[in-house]
Structures are given as structure tokens and as C-alpha cells.
Amino acid sequence: MALKLEPNNPYRYSSLAFFKDRIGDHEEAVAAYEKAIELDPEDAIALNNKGLIEEKIGRKKQSIESFNKSNKIVGYEPEKKDLS
């Protein structure tokens, strides 16, 4: 219902993604985070959370990319990880 009321609010998609992850619907969680990030590309938390789910489902390369984008936004520079 909240998405129908505010379809352009990225927080609504992040909330949906959090719920989807908790019930084990990881593909839908990633899709919801992608929509949240589309609406707010500077949302470091959504990028980080998307990376956590990608990591959980074995998408190492995508998770590292999500983490790196999140880290860049917040100004955190950890040791770079190999994408291979």
C-alpha cells in the first residue's frame, strides 16, 4: 500500500527489500534495492544492503561493486578486493 501512495519514495523500496530479504525472497529484495537506488543513487545504505544480499546469494562480483559504490559515497576507502 505504501508503494502505491508514494511510488517515487526510495525508502519504501528499501523497506520492501528489507522485508523480502527477511522472508528469504532474495531476488525480489535485490530488485527492490535496485529500484531504491535508481530513485536515489546516493543512498549508501541501500547499496551496502544490496551488496550484503548479493554476497549471501553468491554474487561475489556484484556484491563487491555494490560495496565499492557505497564506500565511495561515504568516503570510506578499505583495501580493494579482487573482482575475479
pLDDT digits (tens, 9 = 90+) for 41-63: 999 999 999 999 999 999 999 99
User: Cell triple for residue 60?
Assistant: 561475489
DSSP state of 59: -
Q: Specify the pLDDT at position 4.
A: 85
Q: What does the pLDDT read at residue 78?
A: 83
Please state, as a whole number, how many other Cβ atoms lie within 10 Å of the Cβ of residue 9. Answer: 15
Contact indicator for 30, 36 with CB cutoff of 8 Å: no
**84 has a pLDDT exceeding 90:** no
Q: pTM for the complete prediction?
A: 0.88
- pLDDT for residue 31 is more than 90: yes
pLDDT tops 70 at residue 2: no
What's the pLDDT at 81?
67
Taking 3-state DSSP, the helix, strand and coil percentages for the chain, each rounded to the nearest 5, stand at 70, 0, 30
